[in-house]
């Protein structure tokens, strides 16, 4: 049995604005095992990135707040830590790769300086030992000529190489948990495939647990062991990747899978989900997917469905699930 690295229990993260309360994450629970890749998939603005920022305790202040819930990382509830205590965990125990490497890298510092910052802070190394750790991190991400690259600036590198550098920064202190927030969005298809293969290689070498956030079910199929489907701040279905593709139980999951283009079908028109997600400040009663659901029942519009276990590791929140 693998060890559970992260346990999220009934997490609620809201944004308090002048217009109202945005319930960006509204009562989600999941766990991630050591050495596992756990996917979180859903449309834009469904709460994926807010979930990641909540785990890192980096919600924008003063509006963003974790209202309730637990985030237990390797036995420690991160919600209970002070800001000073939390800084000891970021980078050392848990790291994050953001979507756009150009906004993650500082253009006026060399690659070596940006990786070295985390090494000095969390490992307490100085001098040549820092440089050796920087080179080691670059080699882990298979960056060629690391002795040369560490003295270069971000503008001197391609987009794919900058994304590898961001990965090297995240892995420089060998964290237990790595959160990757749509890390291949800005890359072309060939570089995407290389980067995903690199993720798997790094995981084999370090046994790091990965939370992979994406809207692309094609990426989920290649990368993840288990997956949670999010909609309007809620997790509507959780299962192993194989089981989810074989027998999706929630209408939203089925719709997302059907919207993936397939080479073995010659459809005149790609499948799309009708309607728009609800406003997180004005959520409808009952199931949040009900206004867009093709198989909606009267009870769906009146009562929120409970989470139901329908097999080993497979759960769904839907009134039609048995």
Question: Domain for residue 322, yes or no?
Answer: no
Q: Which long-range contacts (CB under 8 A, 24 or more apart) does 193-197 make?
A: 194/160, 195/160, 195/163, 195/164, 196/222, 196/223
The answer to whether 289 and 230 are in contact (CB under 8 A) is no
Residue 85: helix, strand or coil by DSSP? Answer: helix
Q: Is the dihedral of CA 288, 50, 70, 308 positive or negative?
A: positive
20-72 pLDDT, tens digit each: 999 999 999 999 999 999 999 999 889 999 999 999 999 999 999 999 999 99
Query: Does 238 fall in a domain?
Result: yes
Q: Are residues 137 and 216 in the same domain?
A: no
Q: What is the 3-state secondary structure of 159-193?
A: HHHHHHHHHHHHHCCCCCEEEEECCCCCCCHHHHH
Q: What's the pLDDT at 48? A: 95
Has residue 310 been placed in a domain? Answer: yes
Claim to verify: residue 206 and residue 61 sit in the same structural domain: yes
Q: Is 29 within the bounds of a domain?
A: yes
pLDDT digits (tens, 9 = 90+) for 64-100: 999 999 999 999 999 999 999 999 999 899 999 987 7
- Surface-to-core class of residue 131, CB atoms within 10 Å of its CB (0-12 exposed, 13-18 middle, 19+ buried): middle
- Do 111 and 195 lie in one domain? The reply is no
153, 174, 195 - which closes a domain = 174
> Do residue 62 and residue 206 come from a single domain?
yes
Q: Which of 64, 149, 144, 139 has its CA nearest to residue 105?
A: 149
The total domain count for the chain is 2
**pLDDT surpasses 80 at 140:** yes
Asked whether the predicted pLDDT for residue 1 surpasses 90, the reply is no
Q: Say which DSSP state 219 is in.
A: H
- Rounded to an integer, what distance in angstroms lies between the CA atom of residue 231 and that of residue 253? 10
Using the CB atoms, write b or e for 147-160: b if 16+ within 10 Å: eebbeeebeebeeb
| Cβ atoms of residues 56 and 211 within 8 Å | no
The residue among 38, 10, 12, 41 whose CA lies nearest residue 313 is: 38
- Tens of pLDDT, residue by residue over 196-209, are 888 899 999 999 99
| pLDDT for residue 77 | 97
**Domain carrying residue 137:** 101-174
- DSSP letter at 34? T
Judge whether 129 lies within some domain. yes
What is the DSSP secondary structure assignment for residue 230, as one 8-state letter? Answer: E
Please work out, in degrees rounded to the nearest 5, the angle formed at the alpha carbon of residue 45 by the alpha carbons of 42 and 47: 70
Query: CA separation (Å) from 316 to 21, 131, 275?
Result: 26, 48, 22
- Residue pair 164/195 in contact (Cβ under 8 Å)? The answer is yes
Q: What is the pTM of this model?
A: 0.93
Q: What is the pLDDT of residues 97-133, one digit of tens each?
A: 987 766 789 999 999 999 999 899 888 888 889 999 9
Dig out the tokens for 12 from the structure. 């609620």
What is the C-alpha separation between 105 and 288, in angstroms, rounded? 38
3-state secondary structure of 14: strand
The first and second tokens of residue 62, run together, are 């003063």
- Integer Cα distance of 8 and 27 in angstroms: 10
Residue 306 has pLDDT above 90, yes or no: yes
Is there a single domain that holds both residue 187 and residue 146? no
Does the pLDDT of residue 217 top 90, yes or no?
no
Is 264's pLDDT higher than 80?
A: no
The CATH number that applies at residue 183 is: 3.40.50.300
pLDDT at 227: 97
Q: Give me the pLDDT at residue 188, please.
A: 78
Mean pLDDT of 152-178: 91
Both 218 and 266 in a single domain? yes
Domain termination site, one of 174, 192, 217: 174
């Amino acid at each position: 049995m693998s060890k559970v690295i992260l346990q999220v229990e009934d997490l609620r993260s809201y944004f308090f604005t002048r217009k109202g309360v945005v319930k960006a994450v509204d009562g989600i629970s999941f766990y991630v095992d050591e050495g596992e890749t756990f996917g979180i998939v859903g449309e834009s603005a469904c709460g994926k990135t807010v979930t990641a920022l909540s785990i890192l305790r980096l919600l924008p202040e003063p509006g963003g707040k974790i209202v309730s819930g637990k985030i237990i990382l390797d036995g420690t509830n991160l919600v209970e830590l002070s800001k000073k205590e939390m800084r000891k965990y970021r980078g050392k125990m848990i790291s994050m790769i953001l979507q756009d490497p150009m906004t993650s890298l500082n253009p006026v510092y060399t690659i070596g300086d940006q990786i070295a910052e985390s090494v000095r802070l969390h490992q307490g190394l100085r001098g040549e030992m820092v440089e050796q750790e920087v080179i080691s991190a670059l080699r882990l991400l298979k960056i060629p000529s690391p002795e040369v690259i560490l003295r270069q600036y971000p503008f001197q590198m391609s987009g794919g190489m900058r994304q590898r550098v961001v990965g090297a920064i995240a892995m420089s202190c060998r964290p237990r948990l790595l959160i990757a927030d749509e890390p291949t969005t800005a890359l072309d298809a060939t570089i995407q495939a290389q980067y995903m293969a690199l993720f798997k290689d790094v995981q084999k070498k370090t046994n790091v647990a990965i939370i992979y956030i994406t809207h692309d079910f094609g990426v989920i199929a290649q990368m993840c062991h288990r997956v949670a489907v999010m909609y309007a701040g809620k997790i509507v279905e959780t299962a192993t990747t194989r089981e989810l593709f074989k027998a999706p139980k929630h209408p939203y999951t089925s719709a997302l899978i059907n919207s993936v283009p397939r080479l073995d079908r010659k459809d005149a028109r790609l499948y799309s989900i009708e309607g728009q997600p609800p406003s997180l400040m004005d959520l409808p009663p009952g199931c949040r997917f009900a206004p867009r659901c093709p198989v909606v029942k009267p009870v769906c519009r009146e009562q929120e469905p409970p989470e139901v276990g329908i097999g080993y590791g497979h759960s769904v929140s839907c009134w039609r699930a048995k």
